[in-house]
Amino acid sequence: MTTGGTDNTNGAEPFDQQGELPEPSLPAPDPDLVAVSASVTAAPTLPSSEARAPVPMVSHAPVVGASTWYRTDQQRYKSVYRRANPWYRRVGRAVVGLAIIAVLAGLLYFGAQAVQDYLDRDKLPKPGQEAPEFASTSFLVTSSSPAPELAGTITVDTRSRAYEFVGQANGPQDGLQIVSPDGTRVYLREGEGPWREPVEGDDDVAAVTSALPYLLGVNDADDVLENQMRKGYVDLIDEATEGVDPDARERYEMAVDTDNYGSDYPLQWQDFEDRVVPGAVLGEAVPVTMWVDDDHVVVRLRDDAAHWAWERLTYADEGFAPIDPGGVAVTG
């Protein structure tokens, strides 16, 4: 056993020299804590601090005199555009653009020309353009076989079919005059000779009477160009205007495929033979020429294959009354 108060091998508190435990020592009181405890009713105070100055907003505008600055979006775009599109590229695009514009302009020009040519193309007279009615008309007829052998002028009353024919000089009826005062009775004379009734089978009278239905059967273009004939059987060779207003007339030079037309539409072809062209012939391109005036009246017709040709000299609203030599005519 050890002696003395300083030995404490078991971790016990040390004893003093008299063998007693020392009194515990306390720390010195804090003056502030004493003040607080003394005045428990005082209001708490916050620690004092100085007011902070406001933080200035940062501006992105370039500062004059600064060592660095930023470009605007527009400046950056221009710089990038110049780098991506050098001058030779811009020139190349301009050349290509001008070439495209030139090509388009040429196409527009030729397209406009084609449209204008189409609108101005030669065309047959429109169907449905009817001629006015007239009471009398006169013709100059010059025809030969297979059409009637006839050369002279014929004036006809369209209602009564009364007519007067005067033969053309140097023609087959030179100096011959034939009249029918009512469309039934017929009289003729040579030059200034006496009127007489024709003998049966007179060739000149037969030529005139056989030509009359064809002269009176054509008034407007529809009488010549039947609707079915227009559908692929007529080729318009040329269209031209002759003369000046008010006497201008339109000329239509045509090639008619009467061969196929006659086989495809036999009834219409028979009507064409009986009313339009006497002695009409079959062919793939029969030349037929027609003249039409501003009133849609056919004023001239010629069929070179049939040797049939006539020209309308006049047409009027007044009727025609030829002389009636019945009281003085002698029996032929």
**283, two tokens:** 């062919």
Cite the DSSP H helix spans in 72-184.
73-84, 87-119
Q: What is the pLDDT of residue 21?
A: 52
Whole-number pLDDT of residue 313: 96
Instruction: Report residue 241 as tokens.
Output: 């205007």
Cβ within 8 Å of residue 98, ≥6 positions away = none
pLDDT the model gives residue 116 = 63
Cis ω before 27 (30° cut-off from 0): no
Beta strands in 114-248 (DSSP E): 136-143, 150-157, 163-167, 176-180, 187-190, 234-242
Tokens of 31: 């003056």
Residue 2: predicted pLDDT: 42
Torsion-angle region of 132 (φ positive above 0: left; ψ -120 to 50: alpha; else: beta): beta
Q: What is the pLDDT of residue 319?
A: 95
Which residues, in sequence order, are CB contacts of 84 under 8 Å at separation 6+? none
| Assigned CATH for 136-327 | 2.50.20
- Residues (pLDDT < 50) of the chain are 1-13, 15-16, 34-41, 120
The residue among 223, 220, 222, 218 whose CA lies nearest residue 158 is: 218
pLDDT of residue 43: 55
Give the residue from 250, 251, 327, 240 showing the smallest Cα distance to 288: 251
- Give the whole-angstrom CA distance, residue 84 versus residue 181: 101
Amino acid at 101: I
pTM of the shown model = 0.64
